[in-house]
Amino acid sequence: MKRLVALALLLLAGLTGAAAAAIETPFFAERVATGKLPAIDQRLPEQPRVLDMQSMGRIPGKPGGTWRMLMGDQRDLRMVTLYSYARLVVFDEKLQLVPDILESFEDQDDKVFTFHLRKGHKWSDGQPFTAEDFRYYWEDVALNPKLSPTGPNVALLANGQKPKFEIIDPETIRFTWDTPNPAFLPSLAASQPVYIFMPAHYLKQFNPRYAGKDDLAKKIKDAHVKDWSALHERMSRQYRPENPELPTLEPWRNTTPPPADFFVFERNPFYHRVDENGRQLPYIDKIAMMLGTTNLIPAKVASGEADLQARYINFEDYTFLKHAEQANNYQVELWQQGYGARAALMPNLNAADPIWRKILRDVRFRRALSLGINRRDINRVLFFGLARESGNTVLPESPLYKQSYADAYTNYDPAEANRLLDLVGLDKRDGEGFRLLPDGRRADIVIETAENDTVDTDILELVGDDFAKLGIRIFNHPSQRDAFRQRIFSGQVIMSMAEGLDNAVPTEKFEPDALAPSAESQFQWSRWGLYFESGGSQGEAVDMPEPQHLLDLLHDWRHSTSDAQRKTIWDEMLSINADQVYTIGIVNGTQQPVVVDGNMRNVPKSALFSFEPGSFFGIYMPDTFWYDVKSE
Amino acid sequence: MLRYLIRRFMIMIPTLFFTSAIIFTVINLSPTDYFSNYVAELQAQGEKADMSRVEFLKREYGFDKPPVERYFLWVGGLLHGDYGYSFEYQLPVKDVVGDRLYLTILVSFSTILFTWLIAFPIGIYSATHQYSWADYGLTTLGLLGLAIPHFLLALLFMYFANVWFGLSIGGLMDPQYLNASMSWGKVRSVLAHVWIPVLIIGTAGTGAMIRTVRANLLEELQKQYVTTARAKGLHPFRILIKYPLRLAMNFFISDIGSILPSVVSGAELVAIVLSLQTTGPLLIHALQTQDMYLAGSFLMFLATLTIVGVLISDIALAFLDPRIRLQGGAR
């Protein structure tokens, strides 16, 4: 039924799209007039994606202008890919999967996926985007041992098996697995998507299967690379758009070859989205990305050098930014950060020290620490009371949220905490009243953090006062991020502090991998995670019942066939995590300042700012943002 | 003299060899490498690093080979002018450094000129008018410049340059000129910005140089030949220029050795604070991200310049000051 409604809506959208005649964009008027570019009708697919601004609560805009943004280094080029958020399928603001680059898709029991491309859809260089681009990726990249030494991306494997790939016609392709692959569609819609298509017509010149031998040899020599695979890899990066020649389907395409400190992106003349009036999106013509020292970015933003900026500005810059709001004609909005916790203590269940490991694995110890933190004071002192005192779990914005997850062991109860600590074998104290480990050492905890984030240090200062009342002293040891991780991975760290769940607004369609020991980067059980990631060749096997159960549940989710089943699995995993307090969340829902130019329209006043889901600005579709200025 | 030169050249070879070995060892001592660093940064934001791509890159850059072999690959490359690859930029190091080198040289040369133009007259004046009010005043000013940390001065300047003159914060030109080719507008924009770093980096150097010029000159001025010259009625200015100043210049020539590398590296700290498009921030960033060939080759380049600079100053000194000449004819 649902699917039928969706189809009907889609048809309706298609009809309205056909109704409004496409309007030429002034930015391209000259190029069209001189014949360098075909007219708008020939540039758009037959069925563009029509965004009805009115029904989205937005104002249909007019084209023009440059979006200036400030970034740190060349790696940040990927922010444009994130902010653009054009994917085969995308999550809408209600976190429902909708087709975007695809015209439509069919999903049979999560085993057979049929994708329908938009007829007449073109790459940014004007060449047609067809099933061949998917075939090229699958046969010539994913299955090529030189380009993909470890095989196709895991999202393309269900139970370790590769799919059957078929081309039905130039606009239709199908992936078929024997077992369900529920993670497939979300991975295509992810902020960092799995790309299953590549511009074949462009990349074939770097592939010896298609390119002339001498021609390719010359290209390899000119680029100073070892062989064709290195050249192909460099030229084909879609996520980090470094290569200005690489055709794209995104709203803006890079025009500056690196290295540079200033990158200019220009609107893609063949972009597939239009508004209800027939104006091709994006409204904004250009993006100007300036690279520089990140510590200077708040000051530069305050002097009006960015039009829409959130990266590299923090809550502590808020008052400073607010101060110059009038003078430089911008507004500072506060969005909500999407982490499960702004800061969470992560007891290392794989700590190398056997005495500590035994204590950290005792759930009563973890609950005691959680009960011993005065979250209210931390919220008031450091976040003006604007954050939410909560465990490390999903946010209320997620359909999977339950109050009990957020509240589990987060009430401040030092008496109960002391009672629990006495029970876990920390009942002996030294002359100064600090607790002793069973082997007579003082139970001092060194809490390691990455970089010197001043907020982390401040939180730990307050937590330290709270823990002193439990007879435990803590010390903060900040180190460079990479070294910090290596120390955790090797088990030298007893406890660390980091952000909580990366995706704290999931629906049941997202894979619950962050809730089970499935990755080395999970600091509370990194060696178990590594064991899972490496398929058992590295790390340690899980040797506790509850984490093993979480892994089984993750396995069940990967073989699940219905949303109801997935929801049950999520519920169980969330409640186990809340009850077992594997990570001790302190506050979440902290604020992210977003600076918006005074003339920019359609930017939400308040929203969720998160990498996953949402691609930071991406889910709010920056291609619909526009400048309300009198035309020159 | 010739034998001396040849010997100096011969010593340069093992020195450079040892320097390269030390640079490579220190960079490789870190338990982490560029790739683990890269993965760490991605995952800090919740991004997944594509491990097959990381594997691919590791293999491409020979990280599967033992360090000794990698060292010789690197040094072998350096000998043919191949500085290796930057992982971060995915480009040859030469291309990455590119334009930044010119801007750095511009900033550094302007700074050196600025320092000399200010420091020499003041130093000479202070020495000839020792313990006068002007001497005290100018010395205090110079010491203030020496004592205030660069980066603090940079922050203050940047703030006021923005508030009073409306200059964009940091950088060496207005953003619209960054990728533009050379034009009058660009030159003007660069000139409008370059004075801030020049003034900031210059203040400390000026303070130090005033004191050195003054001290060296004072020592000479108290010598008997000066007294004699005065007694004979020579014009004070002519006395000053003819001998004491020339002798006081020795320190200045021996300083060339350290000037050469600093012209290329620029003042790193100030460059970072001011977000200048010079080589300093590039080097620091390369060291932070463990972009080892970029960092290593750059350090090697600086080491070479230092050694060449010392050689030049030694030769120049030997030519200019007969007392220093090692195998001079007159004994």
Domains of chain B: 103-288 (1.10.3720.10)
3-state secondary structure of B98: helix
Q: How far is CA A40 from CA A61, A127, A631, in A?
A: 18, 15, 21
Tokens linked to A58 = 């937005």
For A189-231, the pLDDT digits (tens) are 999 899 999 999 999 999 999 988 899 999 988 887 778 888 8
pLDDT (tens, 9 = 90+) of chain B, 331 residues, equals 778 788 888 888 899 999 999 998 988 887 778 887 777 777 766 676 666 677 777 777 777 788 888 888 888 888 887 787 788 777 778 888 877 788 888 888 888 888 888 888 888 888 888 888 988 998 888 888 888 887 888 888 878 877 787 776 667 777 677 666 777 888 888 888 888 888 888 887 788 888 888 888 888 888 888 889 889 888 888 888 888 888 777 777 777 777 777 777 667 778 887 878 788 888 888 888 888 888 888 888 888 888 888 888 888 887 777 776 655 444 4
- Distance CA(B42)–CA(B36), nearest Å, equals 10
Mean pLDDT of A17-44: 86
Tokens linked to A345 = 């203590």
For A435-453, the pLDDT digits (tens) are 999 999 999 999 999 876 7
Contact A352, A503 (CB under 8 A): no
Q: Which of A54, A50, A25 has the alpha carbon at shortest distance from A283?
A: A25
Tokens linked to A509 = 């369609």
Closest approach of chain B CAs to the CA of A43, in angstroms? Answer: 29
Smallest CA–CA distance from A501 into chain B, residue: B46
Whether pTM > 0.90 for this model: the answer is: no
Q: Which of A214, A207, A194, A275 has the alpha carbon at shortest distance from A235?
A: A207
Contact A303 B168 (CB under 8 A): yes
Q: Which pLDDT score is estimated for A1? A: 44
Cβ burial, residue B52 (10 Å; 0-12/13-18/19+): middle
Name the H helices within chain B. Answer: 2-29, 34-44, 51-60, 67-79, 93-128, 133-147, 150-165, 184-221, 224-231, 236-242, 244-248, 250-254, 256-265, 268-273, 279-288, 292-320
- Distance CA(A98)–CA(A56), nearest Å, equals 15
* Residue B271, C-beta contacts closer than 8 angstroms, at least 6 positions apart: B197, B278, B280, B281
3-state secondary structure of A273: strand
Q: Which of A151, A258, A300 sits opposite B91 (nearest CB)?
A: A258
Tokens linked to B44 = 């800090």
**Lowest-pLDDT range, A107-116, A463-472, B118-127?**
B118-127
Mean pLDDT of A85-109: 93
Q: Which of A359, A341, A357 has the alpha carbon at shortest distance from A349?
A: A357
Which residues are registered as beta bridge partners of A584?
A345
Cβ-Cβ contacts under 8 Å, B60 against chain A: 225-226, 230
Q: Which pLDDT score is estimated for A229? A: 87
Q: Which of A74, A259, A296 sits opposite B170 (nearest CB)?
A: A296
Cis peptide before A613 (omega within 30 of 0): yes
Q: Which of A505, A513, A582, A509 has the alpha carbon at shortest distance from A553?
A: A513
Which residues are registered as beta bridge partners of A344?
A498, A585
Q: Which of B53, B88, B273 sits opposite A74 (nearest CB)?
A: B88
In a mutational test of the A interface, the residue from B38, B56, B279 whose CB has the highest number of chain A CBs within 10 Å is B56
Q: Is the per-residue pLDDT at A4 higher than 70?
A: no
Count of C-beta atoms within a 10 Å radius of residue B8: 14
DSSP conformation letters of B278-324? SHHHHHHHHHHTT-HHHHHHHHHHHHHHHHHHHHHHHHHHHHH-TTT
Contact A259 B92 (CB under 8 A): no
Q: Is the per-residue pLDDT at A431 higher than 80?
A: yes
User: How distant is the alpha carbon of residue A298 from its chain centre?
Assistant: 23
Closest approach of chain A CAs to the CA of B112, in angstroms? Answer: 25
Q: Which pLDDT score is estimated for B244? A: 83
Contact B52 A149 (CB under 8 A): yes
- Distance CA(B253)–CA(A341), nearest Å, equals 60
Q: Which pLDDT score is estimated for B45? A: 65
Cβ-Cβ contacts under 8 Å, A486 against chain B: 31-32, 36
For A403-415, the pLDDT digits (tens) are 999 999 999 999 9
Cβ-Cβ contacts under 8 Å, B56 against chain A: 147, 149, 229, 233
Count of C-beta atoms within a 10 Å radius of residue A276: 18
Contact A259 B96 (CB under 8 A): yes
Sign of the C-alpha dihedral computed for residues A416, A419, A424 and A430 taken in this order: positive
Q: Which of A258, A264, A290 sits opposite B89 (nearest CB)?
A: A258
> What is the DSSP secondary structure assignment for residue A316, as one 8-state letter?
G
- Distance CA(B90)–CA(B97), nearest Å, equals 13
Mean pLDDT of A306-319: 91
* Residue A588, C-beta contacts closer than 8 angstroms, at least 6 positions apart: A337, A339, A340, A341, A342, A387, A388, A390, A392, A395, A500, A504
Q: Which of A153, A259, A296 sits opposite B169 (nearest CB)?
A: A296
User: How distant is the alpha carbon of residue B216 from its chain centre?
Assistant: 24
Compute and round to an integer the Cα radius of gyration of chain B.
Answer: 25
User: How distant is the alpha carbon of residue A511 from its chain centre?
Assistant: 13
Name the H helices within A174-273. Answer: 184-189, 200-203, 213-222, 228-235
Q: Which pLDDT score is estimated for B46? A: 65
Backbone angles phi, psi at A595, to 5 degrees: -95, 125
Long-range pairs, A186-189, Cβ under 8 A, ≥24: A186/A97, A186/A509, A186/A510, A186/A511, A187/A153, A187/A155, A188/A87, A188/A88, A188/A89, A188/A155, A189/A87, A189/A88, A189/A89, A189/A90, A189/A91, A189/A97
Q: Which pLDDT score is estimated for A14? A: 47
- Distance CA(A267)–CA(A273), nearest Å, equals 12
Which residues are registered as beta bridge partners of A106?
A114
- Distance CA(A417)–CA(A406), nearest Å, equals 18
Q: Which residue has the higher pLDDT, A124 or B150?
A: A124
Sign of the C-alpha dihedral computed for residues A20, A22, A23 and A27 taken in this order: positive
Q: Which pLDDT score is estimated for A99? A: 95
Q: Is the per-residue pLDDT at A168 higher than 80?
A: yes
Contact A290 B175 (CB under 8 A): yes
The helix-helix angle for B279-288 and B256-265 (nearest 10°) equals 80
Contact A292 B275 (CB under 8 A): yes
Sign of the C-alpha dihedral computed for residues B58, B59, B62 and B67 taken in this order: positive
Domains of chain A: 1-84+251-335+590-632 (3.40.190.10), 87-249 (3.90.76.10), 343-588 (3.10.105.10)
Contact A469, A461 (CB under 8 A): no
The helix-helix angle for A526-533 and A481-489 (nearest 10°) equals 80
Cβ-Cβ contacts under 8 Å, A257 against chain B: none
Q: Which of A6, A295, A246 has the alpha carbon at shortest distance from A133?
A: A246
Q: Which residue has the higher pLDDT, B323 or A40?
A: A40
Q: Which of B253, B239, B295, B302 has the alpha carbon at shortest distance from B104?
A: B302
User: For residue A264, what is the enclosing H or E element?
Assistant: strand A262-267
* Residue A303, C-beta contacts closer than 8 angstroms, at least 6 positions apart: A324, A328, B162, B168, B169
> What is the DSSP secondary structure assignment for residue B47, as one 8-state letter?
P
Cβ-Cβ contacts under 8 Å, A296 against chain B: 169-170, 273, 275
- Distance CA(A456)–CA(A459), nearest Å, equals 5
Partner B, chain A 352-381, Cβ-Cβ below 8 Å: none
- Distance CA(B128)–CA(B120), nearest Å, equals 12
**Lowest-pLDDT range, A98-107, A114-123, B231-240, B271-280?**
B271-280
Q: What is the mean pLDDT of chain A?
A: 90
For A316-325, the pLDDT digits (tens) are 899 889 988 9
Q: Is the per-residue pLDDT at A9 higher than 70?
A: no
Sign of the C-alpha dihedral computed for residues B176, B178, B181 and B183 taken in this order: positive
Q: Which pLDDT score is estimated for A178? A: 92
- Distance CA(A281)–CA(A269), nearest Å, equals 9
Q: Which pLDDT score is estimated for B329? A: 47
Residue B294 half-sphere exposure, CB side, CA atoms within 13 Å?
Answer: 27
For A236-291, the pLDDT digits (tens) are 889 989 899 999 999 999 999 888 888 999 999 999 999 999 999 999 999 999 98
In a mutational test of the B interface, the residue from A147, A293, A307 whose CB has the highest number of chain B CBs within 10 Å is A293
Contact A229 B47 (CB under 8 A): no
Smallest CA–CA distance from B43 into chain A, residue: A521
Tokens linked to A46 = 């037959």
